[in-house]
Amino acid sequence: MHLRFLFIWVLVVSSQHYVCAQGITIESGTHWVMQQSVMLSVENGGIQNNGTFHAGNSTVFFDGGSAISMSGSQEIFFNNVRFRGNGIKRNEGIASVIRTMGVDGTAVFDADGATNSRVFTLRSSDTVTANVDVITGGDITGNVTVERFINTGPGASEHGKSWQFLATPTTGQTIYQSWQENGSTPPGYGTIITGTGTGFDITTQLPSLKSYDPSTNAWVGVTNTNNPVVNKNGYMLFVRGDRSVVTYNGTPNNTNMRTRGVLFTPNHPPDQLTVLPSQFQTFGNPYASRMEFNKVWAASSGIQDVFYVWDPMLNGTYNLGGYQTISGITGYIPTAGYATSYYPAGVPSPYIESGQAVFVRGTATGGYVQFNEGCKAPDSRLVHRASTGRNPSGRSMWFTTLVSDAGKVADGNIAVFGTGLGNDLNEYDAIKIRNEGENISLFRNGELLSVEARNPIRGSDTLFYHIERLRPQTYTLIIYSSQMPAGTQARFVDQMNRTATRLRISDTNFISIQIYPSQQSEQSRRFYVVFNNGERPGNIFSIDALKQENHHLITFADTEQDKVEKYELEYAYNNGTFIQFKSLLPENPSGTYSIQHQPTQLGKYKYRIKINAKDGAVYYSEEVTLENDAQTVLTIYPNPVTDGWIHARIQNAPNGRYEWKLMHSNGTQVTAGKEFLQGNTKFLRVNISRTLPGVYQLLCVHETGKAFTTSVVVQ
């Protein structure tokens, strides 16, 4: 009988100081274990690994001159690795780095060796993504594989199939070679990409890979995956999981999107991007490293100090994800953060991660986005996981988060108050990027905002909310503040239900709001918050203007009218000067008033209340607007519909972009779309060839929020 023995050698290096060697060979069956934070310096030589290298928390330095740094039959997994000194250090094996790779001095690291076939990988996981440190005098040449972990899956800390806004930090591969893994299905890598054109895994009408076109303010589907994957604008990619998840109802799992090619370095710099005046523009982080947005903003010109990220955890009711706005004026606190989101409430997130793409917006002059090595920042995180710290701006801030009835965060916004910020729209305000799901914005001077910057609160300063795409259900608004002035009071006003709820300034407020199925257009501006910092008399909290058959009806209520001498009602026509048309004494015990005004011309009427205090001071309420225009008519011809097409005609309606949807009488949506309509009479055709007979409602909503609806009978 023959006995066979297997001897396994384990060499443990345990020190918190430097360990030096001229070369290391790890034989087959041998384990080289680096314990604690060992710093290993390899002088003028390399590591040949035929066994197992356990990196621990170590840092390996390849010092001296030119040398083969890595070789052997087994992959070397470095924790941190740095190439120092001078000359060329080559990879002639298989190597990966888990945390940081650096090139110092005048050293040049050749990542894929003399034959351009060796593999060096920057790894990514749910806990850490490898990064390349700032490069000053050295360089990295050859092909490097860069991973970006996507936390797709069914777990509590994961998210389902979702859109991801991704960057491409290497040049050299096509989309098919990289994110489609050359058509193969390696576990934990790539994803199925669908669309119409060349190279797709599955042909579909709607693309799962698209990029943003600023000239049309629209997403454009990729039509050929044999095109280069590198794209300075970034991509929006729908990730189902790895390439084993093929069906629409397949269970999502974790995956890594990876590209292989040449990194962007000082000797191979990324291109700058032009940003048009007052227009949105996307860009992908060009570096295999986290960037600090403030440094990108400082290196650039003509862009606002604000960026917009895509957060797949903003599920709401629609489970689609949504945009978070991150502005310098708020200390880079995200707008919709809360405990269920990857961007927690009140926690600054000033970084753009490796593999992440974002939106920016041009100032009134426009300019460009510029990158340099100084924009890099250490460490890493999941693309959608936050850093630490709370409200570093020192300004007063007002946070509002919208949560669905299932407890899913849908959207949010921030109002920030500070000296010199201004109450008119300016570069400190952040224009809202609309989500495909629920939206809650702040509304000011005809614009929807995700961040509104204002001067310190005075008198009856008011925040106006705008909601859209909310489903009929009960939502919760989570409202809280930070560093508000002592003595500030606030009320949340629901104009539809005619209620005013006092808010707790020093605590978190949870307000239930009911959305009704047949009043979407009327509900968009129903909520606002009015402040009272003790400077003004009276407390007008529900001013409203309603269009009646032959007049306008202005209503308001005041809970502190004992401080008021009289009210003067004023109107302004087409943004002209305010004119008084009625004077009232505070004599109604209920504090509620209704006043009629007869408009004499077609156009826009603004109304406000001048409050004359008993102490001689004068204050004004917020303004409300009514459009006195010809009646808009939405008609269907013919009706009933018999040929599979709805022919709609809209008269006396503004030009612009319309969103339309066809709803069954049971409340379900049949079809929807968007279209730009213009002309005195606007025409819309809707294909309903697959629609069953019945009674439907056609709803057309203009970009300003004006909505028109009519019944459609399908035979």
**HEC profile for 178-229?**
HCCHHHCCCCCECCCCEECCECCCEECCCCCEEEEECCCCEEEECCECCCEC
**Backbone phi, psi, residue 152, to 5°:** -80, 140
Q: Are 333 and 369 found together in one domain? A: yes
Q: Are residues 512 and 561 in the same domain?
A: no
Q: Are strands 67-71 and 47-49 parallel, antiparallel or unpaired?
A: parallel
259 and 365: one domain? no
Task: Tell me the C-alpha distance between 71 and 119, whole Å.
Answer: 11
Instruction: Give the span between the Cα atoms of 95 and 510, in whole angstroms.
Output: 52
The single-letter code of the amino acid at 152 is T
Which of 388, 357, 354, 390 lies closest to 128 in space, CA to CA?
Answer: 354
Q: Which helix (H) or strand (E) holds 498?
A: none
CA–centroid distance for 354 within its chain: 16
Q: Do 197 and 297 belong to one domain? A: no
**Spatial separation of the C-alpha atoms in residues 179 and 169, rounded to whole Å:** 13
User: DSSP letters of 350-401?
Assistant: -EE-TTBEEEEEB-SS-EEE---GGGEES----TT---S---TT-SEEEEEE
Distance (Å, whole) CA 531 – CA 100: 49
- State which of 593, 628, 663 marks the end of a domain: 628
What pLDDT was estimated at residue 193? 97
348/289 Cα distance (integer angstroms): 19
Same domain, 161 and 238: yes
Q: What are 694's two structure tokens?
A: 């019945």
pLDDT value for 12: 57
DSSP string covering 408-438: -EEEEEEEEE-TT--SS--TTSEEPPPPSS-
Residue pointed to by tokens 């070369």: 23
pTM: 0.74
φ, ψ for residue 182, nearest 5 deg: 55, 25
Query: Which candidate, 254, 279, 500, places its Cα nearest to that of 368?
Result: 279
**Judgement on whether residues 183 and 85 belong to the same structural domain of the protein:** no
Following CA atoms 74, 77, 81, 86 in sequence, which dihedral angle do they give, to the nearest 10 degrees?
Answer: 10
The helix (run of H) or strand (run of E) holding residue 297 is helix 293-299
Contacts of 387 (CB under 8 A, 6+ apart): 347, 348, 349, 350, 351, 381
From residue 93, alpha-carbon distances to 50, 231, 470 in Å are 10, 30, 55
Q: Has residue 36 been placed in a domain?
A: yes
359 and 449 together in one domain: yes
Which structural domain, as residue segments, surrounds residue 39?
9-122
Q: How far apart are the first and last CA of the chain?
A: 89
Residues 46, 155, single domain; the answer is: no
End position of a domain, from candidates 628, 656, 676: 628
SS3 375: helix
Which tokens belong to 192?
Answer: 């199925």
pLDDT of res. 2: 35
| pLDDT at residue 159, rounded to an integer | 84
pLDDT of residue 504: 85
Q: Which of 239, 263, 287 is the last residue of a domain?
A: 263
What dihedral do alpha carbons 668, 673, 675, 679 form, nearest 10°? Answer: -30
Beta-carbon-side half-sphere exposure of residue 609 (alpha carbons within 13 Å): 31
- Flag whether 4 is in a domain: no
- Say yes or no: 291 and 440 in one domain: yes
Residues of the chain with pLDDT under 70: 1-17, 338-341, 381-393, 518-522, 533-542, 549, 629-632, 665-668, 705
- 523: three-class secondary structure by DSSP: helix
Cβ–Cβ under 8 Å, residues 667 and 517: yes
In this structure, what CATH number is given to the domain that contains residue 665? 2.60.40.2550
Classify residue 215 by burial, with Cβ atoms within 10 Å: 0-12, 13-18, 19+. Answer: exposed
Cβ–Cβ under 8 Å, residues 468 and 439: yes
Please report which helix (H) or strand (E) contains residue 464, including its range: strand 462-468
In a domain, 539, yes or no: no
Asked if residue 231 is part of any domain, the answer here is: yes
Does residue 99 lie in a domain region? yes
Amino acid letter for position 79: N
Q: What is the tally of structural domains in the chain?
A: 5
- Tell whether 304 and 252 lie within a shared domain: no
Give me the pLDDT at residue 4, please.
34
Question: Are 608 and 566 contained in the same domain?
Answer: yes
| 489: β partners | 532
Note whether residue 13 is domain-resident.
yes
In a domain, 142, yes or no: no
For residues 552 and 615, state if they share a domain: yes
pLDDT number for residue 233:
96
What is the distance between the alpha carbons of residues 251 and 279, in angstroms, rounded to a whole number?
Answer: 38
Determine the Cα–Cα distance for residues 313 and 323; give it in Å rounded to an integer: 10
CB of 107 closer than 8 Å to CB of 136: no
List the CATH number of the domain containing 584: 2.60.40.10
Q: What is the pLDDT of residue 387?
A: 43
How far apart (Å, rounded) are the C-alpha atoms in residues 710 and 98?
60
Q: How many CB atoms lie within 10 A of CB 203?
A: 9
Q: Please report whether residue 697 resides in a domain.
A: yes
The β-bridge partners of 463 are 529
